[in-house]
Amino acid sequence: MTPSPAAPARERLVQQIRFIVEVDRLKEIFRQTVLVHSRRPENDAEHSWHLCLIVLTLAEHANWPRLDVLRVLKMLILHDLVEIDAGDTFAYDTAAMAHQHEREAVAADRIFGLLPADQAREFRALWDEFEARQTREAKFAAAVDRFQPMLLNCHTEGAAWRKHGVTRDRVLARNSYIAEGSAALWAYAEHMIADTVAAGHLAE
């Protein structure tokens, strides 16, 4: 018969499971981007999965030859959990963007605070690192986070952009820091944008 875990270990497990159950809510937070095939809105959990797969596939195109890929993956799997409380903020909604970080920081306190103290500190530090965009890993994580919605928009005839009247200059201004993490991804993105404009799916 397997012995029961000691009380402190059991309490730690209870906290971790509580966190895991809580963050299942990420699957119910929907974004403005739509999926390439069904054209239904993408949810945040799908977005996070896609970002991680992009990193595994495209990490060689980061601006640095040696990158801590596991750290990048950790940031990307954690960074949108705050949207469980704060909601998804559309990238081109300037009014909502004004207080986005403050709303999300409060959410980070609550959500990561469900974990045992050591994991809460670790996860919050990774979230803060992503937000600050100072390390090479954070810069590449942020580049991928910006590249993926552009990729979906360009493959759905600019669905979210057209819905909200977003123009080419706003897309370029919003996403240009992709180049800080990957010059190659930004060059590819610029070509995608040009093709989408030429096809009439993104206004000048």
What is the residue extent of each domain of the chain? 7-19+41-198
Say what the pLDDT of residue 92 is: 87
Say what the pLDDT of residue 151 is: 98
Say what the pLDDT of residue 183 is: 98
Average pLDDT on 130-137 reads 98
Long-range contacts formed by 52-55: CB under 8 A, 24+ apart: 52/76, 52/77, 54/144, 54/147, 54/148, 55/140, 55/141, 55/144
Average pLDDT, the chain: 95
Average pLDDT on 7-12 reads 91
Say what the pLDDT of residue 89 is: 85
Spatial contact of 125 and 134, defined as CB atoms under 8 Å apart: no
Say what the pLDDT of residue 56 is: 98
Say what the pLDDT of residue 105 is: 97
Q: Is 193 left (phi over 0), alpha (psi -120 to 50) or beta?
A: alpha
Say what the pLDDT of residue 93 is: 81
Half-sphere exposure of 177 (CA within 13 A, CB side): 12
Say what the pLDDT of residue 7 is: 81
How distant, in Å, are the alpha carbons of 10, 15, 74, 99, 115 from that of 118?
A: 16, 12, 16, 28, 8
Q: Is the pLDDT of residue 55 over 60?
A: yes
Average pLDDT on 58-63 reads 98
Say what the pLDDT of residue 97 is: 77
Say what the pLDDT of residue 4 is: 60
Average pLDDT on 158-166 reads 96
SS3 99: coil
Residue 99: is it exposed, middle or buried by C-beta count within 10 angstroms (0-12/13-18/19+)?
Answer: exposed
pTM: 0.93
Q: Domain spanning 7-19+41-198: which CATH class is it, in words?
A: mainly alpha
